[in-house]
Amino acid sequence: MSAPQERRAAVTGIGVVAPNGTSTETFWKSVQEGISVLDRITREGCDHLPLKVAGEVRAFEPADMVEERFLVQTDRFTHFAMTAADLALEEARLGRADTDAEPFSVGVVTAAGSGGGEFGQRELQQLWGKGSRFVGPYQSIAWFYAASTGQVSIRRGFKGPCSVVAADEAGGLDALAHAARAVERGTDVIVAGSTEAPLAPYSMVCQLGYDELSRETDPARAYRPFTDAACGFVPAEGGAMLVVEEIGSARRRGLPVRATIAGHGATFTGASRWAESREGLAQAIRGALDDADLAPEDVDVVFADALGVPEADRAEALAIADALGDRARRVPVTAPKTGIGRAYCAAPVLDTAAAVLAMEHGLIPPTPGVADICHDLDLVTGRARPAELRTALVLSRGLMGSNSALVLRHGAA
């Protein structure tokens, strides 16, 4: 993305539907105060499962946000995506009339890991309970990874380039990078991000095979990365969509450039091979900084992947040290996701939203519920730390082996 091109990608709108807030304002308030909303899972049909704690989106009524004709053909993860896209477009002041005037100038890129499990389960129960004649035709599209990209573009009438990134949790960052490239190639606006809804019985059973999943039943102890008490990660639902827009387009519309997507790097080191992720994540960081034409000294804050598995936490701390050198000992690191949970592909997109907001507010949000760090990191805990932030580095690793790093710059710098 550092190629000598005139066109650069900015963030001009953020839409969040998260366990700790269903608007950008409530999300940021909760993140900067370090509030944890991890709690016992209350979703129907999940009581008997050995996964007890998650980040549930409770303040969300799909029927208030999405038209019925779209509700009947979509899963909860797409309800989140349509809502988050609306919120982001509203922040970016892109109304229906604006995008209808130039429908080919707006595209959609999402990443998805969990798909439409709740919808899929309902239809599979029809299949095995009553027979194939009782499976609704929307099953053919609703549980598919691509559903949110398709439905957001159809619902808003967008005709620009659309894509879906299926690259593990780190795919959330890859989707934002893909959106930035689409903007650099000539599309003015890409609505990009990820939302997930993995807290339905079928989806939860699928996750039970992950060794990295926390089985802790006490919400206050379930997700404590970078400590001796780390016992895995807590899953979450929800996510965020961003309006990624060409800087010139934003300026023509008189809109402030909140941040630029300056660089991206991605590597692959194999499923659950956490020791190897050290080298992969370090290489992704170096790639992202090179891409942004920045040096380790320029990084003002790191939003960590923070898996909560001792071997993985160690690998991440070492990767930061390997890639940032001397800067690693001084750069503040944070992981707001310990208060929200990891919403799979949406986790790094929520981190990106938090990073943009952190730069705007000059405030590094803390890592909720975490104290007594056992790694050589300056992890921000307790309360938010004021700091002048020009460059943020967001890290993500997937359970299947993907590692990604995204560099954001404050404003149009």
Partner 1 sequence: MSDRITVEELSELMKKAAGITVSPAELEESYDRGFDTLGVDSLGLLGIVGELENRHGAPMPPDAERCKTPRQFLDLVNSALPAGA
CA dist 127 → 71, 73, 122, 201, 292 (Å): 21, 17, 9, 17, 50
Contact pattern for partner 1 over residues 301 through 340, marking x by CB under 8 A? ----------------------------------------
Please say which residue, 66 or 312, places its beta carbon nearer to partner 1.
66
Please say which residue, 70 or 210, places its beta carbon nearer to partner 1.
70
Please say which residue, 129 or 137, places its beta carbon nearer to partner 1.
137
Q: Nearest approach, Cβ of 269 to partner 1 (angstroms)?
A: 40
Where does 178-337 show beta strands of DSSP type E? 189-196, 238-246, 259-268, 301-303, 332-334
Q: Nearest approach, Cβ of 73 to partner 1 (angstroms)?
A: 7
Given 23, 35, 138, 201, the residue binding partner 1 (CB under 8 A): 138
For the beta carbon of residue 133, count every other beta carbon within 10 angstroms: 7
Please say which residue, 30 or 139, places its beta carbon nearer to partner 1.
139
Contact window for partner 1 (CB under 8 A) among 70-78, 96-104, 186-194, 243-251: 70-78
Please say which residue, 72 or 208, places its beta carbon nearer to partner 1.
72
Q: Nearest approach, Cβ of 136 to partner 1 (angstroms)?
A: 5
DSSP bridge pairs for 384: none
Binding of residue 140 to partner 1 (CB under 8 A): yes
What does the longest C-alpha to C-alpha distance in the chain come to?
A: 64
Contact window for partner 1 (CB under 8 A) among 130-138, 181-189, 233-241, 369-377: 130-138
Given 59, 72, 220, 275, the residue binding partner 1 (CB under 8 A): 72
In angstroms, the CA 173 to CA 234 distance is 20
Contact window for partner 1 (CB under 8 A) among 85-93, 135-143, 181-189, 259-267: 135-143
Tally the C-alpha atoms within 13 A of residue 150's C-alpha that lie toward its C-beta. Answer: 13
Q: Nearest approach, Cβ of 82 to partner 1 (angstroms)?
A: 13
In angstroms, the CA 219 to CA 236 distance is 13
Given 2, 39, 49, 70, the residue binding partner 1 (CB under 8 A): 70
Binding of residue 124 to partner 1 (CB under 8 A): no
- Using the Cα atoms of residue 196, residue 198, residue 203 and residue 206 in order, give the sign of their dihedral: positive
The residue assigned the tokens 């389960």 is 121
Contact pattern for partner 1 over residues 40 through 69, marking x by CB under 8 A? ---------------------------xxx
Q: Nearest approach, Cβ of 74 to partner 1 (angstroms)?
A: 10
For the beta carbon of residue 306, count every other beta carbon within 10 angstroms: 30
Tally the C-alpha atoms within 13 A of residue 316's C-alpha that lie toward its C-beta. Answer: 30
Which residue in 289, 291, 395, 282 sits closest to 333, CA to CA?
395
The residue assigned the tokens 């004649």 is 133
128, two tokens:
């095995």
Which residue in 35, 112, 55 sits closest to 341, CA to CA?
55
286, two tokens:
């170096």
Indicate the pairing of strand 391-397 with strand 402-410: antiparallel
Q: For residues 405 and 304, is the Cβ–Cβ distance under 8 A?
A: no
Please say which residue, 152 or 192, places its beta carbon nearer to partner 1.
152
Given 12, 73, 149, 283, the residue binding partner 1 (CB under 8 A): 73
Q: Nearest approach, Cβ of 238 to partner 1 (angstroms)?
A: 23
Binding of residue 96 to partner 1 (CB under 8 A): no
250, two tokens:
């934003």
Binding site for partner 1 (CB under 8 A): 67-73, 133-134, 136-138, 140-141
